[in-house]
Amino acid sequence: MCRFLVYKGREMFMSDLLTRSSRSLIQQSFKAREHAEPLNGDGFGVGWYAPEVDRIPCVFTSVQPAWSNRNLHRLAEKIRSSCFFAHVRAATPGLAVSEANCHPFQYDRFLWMHNGSINGFEKIKRRLRASLSDHVYGIIDGTTDSEHAFAVFLNRLLPRLKDYTLDDLIEAMNFTVLQIESWLQETGVDVPSRCNFALTDGQSVLATKYVAVRDSDPLTLYVSSGERFELAGGEYRMRPTKRRAHAVIIASEPLTDNRDDWTPAPKNNLVVVTPELQIRYLPVA
């Protein structure tokens, strides 16, 4: 499975999360600790917002392993953003390793990424595609289950794109997860599908921790929030705050060894980060 992280808060350098912390995403690309397969070397991607330029995020992807890509390290040292996504990929067997299949996926102001797999995807692919408008169908560039899930989300949201609310994003995400589960049930797939999706428009963030077979275990997902994520005493940690948070991180596994900084998201829940950095946990329903 893949590993990903989300940051939302005051501007910070991407390198603080991608390369510098003791369990950074780069470390997780070759030594993930909370999954049986520690290697995530089938490419990577980062996406970030520069609102002083425009609302459309910039995305950089490569099929190289994240640990060996010098440009990723160079960019991470120089790019500051208040909202960014990063993902290291372990390709689902049978799916191509190509830039078109690297996360995060982008459409308009939205970024999307996925840790997990839709088992039985080939059995539902035709009906999934048949449910899409011509416009959304044409957006799909790669072959992954992850990008097709993004298409389901966009298809649900696009009629409200000009004036959508946070509640509309939540409804579209819930619809996406449950519709995929419904298609799997209709085709008789009873193998667990794990759908840890992440979505942002640069203002709000949504992330799911979901497994379609209810008595199975989901993939890990953690949340950390506080005043800021900083280097203190030779190690990064989240500085706590008793007031409103100014930094929120969502990650497949902790980026540091200080477990007190990391809260596991509840199973089959949606993590919502509002533009004001308030965190809500909602059952996927």
CA-based nearest residue to 46, from 95, 113, 92 = 113
The residues facing 204 across adjacent strands are none
Hey, what's the torsion of the CAs at 253, 256, 257, 263, to 10 degrees? -50
In angstroms, rounded to a whole number, what is the distance separating the alpha carbons of residues 119 and 188?
11
Say if residue 51 is preceded by a cis peptide, omega within 30 of 0: no
pLDDT exceeds cutoff 70 at 43? yes
The conformation of residue 17, written as its DSSP 8-state character, comes to I
83 is known as an active-site residue: no
235: containing domain: 3-283
Which pTM was predicted?
A: 0.95
In degrees and rounded to multiples of 5, residue 6 shows phi and psi of -125, 135
* Interval 233-264: pLDDT, tens: 889 999 999 889 999 999 999 999 999 999 99
Task: Return the CATH number at 146.
Answer: 3.60.20.10
Q: What share of the chain has pLDDT > 90, as a percent?
A: 81
What would the mean pLDDT of 48-60 be, rounded to a whole number? 97
d(CA 111, CA 47) in angstroms, rounded, equals: 7
pLDDT score for 37: 65
pLDDT of residue 97: 81
In the 8-state DSSP scheme, what is residue 201?
Answer: -
List 275's β-bridge partners, or say none: none
Asked if the model's pLDDT at residue 36 lies above 70, the reply is: no
Q: Which of 223, 166, 218, 224 is nearest to 193 (CA)?
A: 218
What is the pLDDT at residue 146? Answer: 97
Residue among 204, 191, 202, 197 at smallest CA distance from 175? 197
Tell me the pLDDT tens digit for each residue of 156-206. 999 999 999 999 999 999 999 999 999 999 999 989 999 999 999 999 999
CB 226 within 8 A of CB 239: yes
**Euclidean distance between CA atoms 237 and 24, whole angstroms:** 12
Q: Is pLDDT above 80 for 94? A: no
SS3 123: helix
**pLDDT the model gives residue 215:** 83
- pLDDT band at residue 72 using 50, 70 and 90 as cut-offs: very high
Number of domains in the chain: 1
Active-site annotation holder among 2, 83, 102, 195: 2
Q: What is the residue whose two structure tokens read 């948070």?
A: 245
Q: What is the mean pLDDT of residues 56-69?
A: 94
pLDDT at 275 > cutoff 90: yes
pLDDT of residue 190: 87
Average pLDDT, the chain: 94
* Residue ranges of E strands in the chain: 3-13, 44-48, 58-62, 80-88, 105-107, 110-117, 194-200, 205-209, 222-226, 228-232, 235-239, 247-251, 263-264, 269-273, 279-283
Task: Determine the pLDDT at residue 89.
Answer: 87
User: What confidence score (pLDDT) does residue 30 get?
Assistant: 80
